[in-house]
Each structure stands twice: as C-alpha cells, then as structure tokens.
Amino acid sequence: MQVGNSRLGTVIKVKHFQVKKAQKELSVISIDREQQEQHLDKLERRQTNAMSEAVRTMKARAVDLQTSRAYIQSISRQITQQAAKVDEVKFQEDGKRAELLEKSQSKQMLEKLDQKRRAELEKEQERKSQRMLDVLAQRTKTGS
C-alpha cells in the first residue's frame, strides 16, 4: 500500500486502520467461538458419560437414579444454554466478517481511485514536459 501526499492518502490510512481493527476483532470473536464450541463439546461428552453410567447402574438405588437423572437434566440445560451462546458468537462472527469484507472493499476502491488519479497526474506532467521540450526544440530550430 503506497500512500503519498495525495488527498486520498489520509482517508486510505484511516480505512487501513479500520480494516486492521476489524481483523483483530474478528480474531478475538473467532477465538471466543472456538472456546465456546470446546465447552459445548465437553458438556456433551459429560452428558454421554453420565447417560452411559446411568444405563450401567440400572439396578442402583432409587436415590442414586434420581440424582443421576437430575445431573443429566442439568447437563442438558447447560448444553442448551451453551448451544445458544455458540450460535450467538457465530452470529457475531458472521457480522464482523461481513463488516471486514465491506471495509476491505472500501479501502481497495479508494486505493484504486488514488492510483488512477496518480496515473492521470503523471500523464499530465509528461504532457507538460513534452510541450516544454517541443517549445525548446522549436526555439533552437528557429534560432539556428
């Protein structure tokens, strides 16, 4: 990214900063999503283990069965809550990804605009130089 003293230079720098900020925020959200998903997996494994244990101890006392059932229900509620958290974080991640895409496209558009403007300025400068050379060549021709 080459940003000079152009009028768009400051705007491009701001857009670049915004893109970097959005990338960092997306990274944080992605890490959070991964952690939430790991926690959900852990809860699901605990539920599976508790259910397997309950099936193995079918001839246990009624109190033990009630405790086991309450524990499984508790884990089921936790799984439901955790799944909702995972969905919420995924929604945030999708939103941040869309924001990052929009900011990146905006920055690229401004950079292309700046490049076109610079190219036009260069062409204009070349034309002026060529005119000067033509005038000097004309003067030397008529002066000789």
Q: Where are the domains of the chain?
A: 9-114
Residue with tokens 């997996």: 41
Per-residue pLDDT averaged across 45-69, rounded?
81
Q: Which two tokens stand for residue 107?
A: 């920055």
Query: What is the phi/psi pair of residue 6, to 5°?
Result: -70, 160
Torsion of CA 131, 137, 140, 143, to 10 degrees: -70
- 89, 32 contact by CB (below 8 A): yes
- 114, 68 contact by CB (below 8 A): no
Q: Which residue has the higher pLDDT, 106 or 4?
A: 106
Decide if pLDDT at 5 tops 80.
Answer: no
The pLDDT of residue 79 is 95
Which long-range contacts (C-beta less than 8 Å, at least 24 apart) are formed by 114-123?
114/3, 114/6, 114/8, 114/9, 114/12, 117/6, 117/8, 118/4, 118/6
Decide if pLDDT at 61 tops 90.
Answer: no
List the beta strands (DSSP E) in the chain: none
Asked whether the whole model's pTM tops 0.85, one would answer no
